Structure 1
């Protein structure tokens, strides 16, 4: 793995892919802001070395004046073009490179700072030991140019609560046939016989049937109940849904950042 001790030896080194093919030569090295760990090498590729491509060197190895990286030459040729400004690489640019090479960054530490061309430092009559620290001085100069201000960005989490429709249960209408007894009172009539006796007046009703057997007969009638059944619809039953809105309390944990001001003297007192 390449670390800070290899930075000075990386310039103008040949970059070899995982198949042993030469990709190009290193012209710039990009360092992780804060740690100074080498992250990317800016390599000149193409027929005349006019194209600049970014190659991941975090997992590379240095041997024999060359860097061997775990990617292919074609991947480097197809890598996205970077339009970096002020010698800094933003998180979006890093993400584009990580996505292209199929890599997952171990941690996000902010912007990556690029180490300047060693020829520029040599012109300023700096030794090799000073060149490794030049990246720190460069970052400090940028902060002073911003107005002698130091700042941090605070973040906090918010709860975004929505709703989704889920099945709460099913309701069915089931019709059954039930037999029950009904008692209905029905008036019925019947005929009864009544003997009426009345005296005979004069000779008007005399007949020649005296002292002979004779009988008279009548038919009696009665009513009896007759039961018939008929089917008729009595009512309709249906299911309908109503939407009822109620209030529910949703609890969740959110994080937020806060800042405290510490002075160097305060930390020494704690120790």
Structure 2
């Protein structure tokens, strides 16, 4: 697993898919509130004036000189749930992100969020 200190250094670096195709630019990291470990990244995609942030899991991610390689296909990442570049992730939309990647989603016992920005 990539440590939170390591991945913070890669903000604004290129994110590539499992085949090395450019997806976009790493914008932020979200940690799993149950473990405090990096869980998801937002990737800025789109043309100027039409940019948005898509979520991609960091499980299986690797870093290289100037890039972060994720374990998912570009098409899957780009078709996933997104938010505007100035928006925040609504709690009710978290489950859809996990579902998009066929990952289990369980909120906290009291309904707490699963993802948070450190």
**TM-score category, normalised to shorter length:** 0.7 to 0.9
The C-alpha deviation readout for 1:153-203, integer Å capped at 9, x for no partner, is xxxxxxxxxxxxxxxxxxxxxxxxxxxxxxxxxxxxxxxxxxxxxxxxxxx
Where does residue 55 of structure 1 map in the other structure? 56
Q: Which moved more, 1:53-62 or 1:13-22?
A: 53-62
Do the aligned partners of 1:89 and 1:113 also contact (CA within 8 Å) in 2?
no
Contiguous gaps of at least 5 residues in structure 2: none
The C-alpha deviation readout for 1:235-261, integer Å capped at 9, x for no partner, is xxxxxxxxxxxxxxxxxxxxxxxxxxx
Where does residue 18 of structure 1 map in the other structure? 18
Where does residue 27 of structure 1 map in the other structure? 27
- The residue correspondences of 1:212-227 to structure 2 (distance < 5 A) are none
Q: How many pairs are equivalent?
A: 111
Where does residue 233 of structure 1 map in the other structure? none
CA distance in structure 2 between the partners assigned to 1:41 and 1:74 by the alignment: 16
Q: Give 1 or 2 for the bigger CA radius of gyration.
A: 1
CA distance in structure 2 between the partners assigned to 1:88 and 1:23 by the alignment: 20
Higher relative contact order (CA 8 A, sep 6+): 2
Normalised to the residue count of structure 2, the TM-score between the two structures is 0.76
Shift of 1:114: 1.0
Where does residue 113 of structure 1 map in the other structure? 116
Where does residue 38 of structure 2 map in the other structure? 38
The C-alpha deviation readout for 1:67-90, integer Å capped at 9, x for no partner, is 11111111111112348xx95653
CA distance in structure 2 between the partners assigned to 1:103 and 1:35 by the alignment: 16
The C-alpha deviation readout for 1:47-76, integer Å capped at 9, x for no partner, is 337121111113211121311111111111
Shift of the 7–99 alpha-carbon distance from structure 1 to 2, 3 Å rule, reads same
- The residue correspondences of 1:1-271 to structure 2 (distance < 5 A) are 1-48=1-48, 50-82=51-83, 90=91, 92-104=92-104, 108-109=107-108, 110-111=112-113, 112-115=115-118
* Superposed structure 1 runs of 4+ greater than 6 Å apart: none
CA RMSD of aligned residues (A): 2.5
Do the aligned partners of 2:16 and 2:68 also contact (CA within 8 Å) in 1?
yes
Do the aligned partners of 1:80 and 1:96 also contact (CA within 8 Å) in 2?
yes
Contiguous gaps of at least 5 residues in structure 1: 116-271
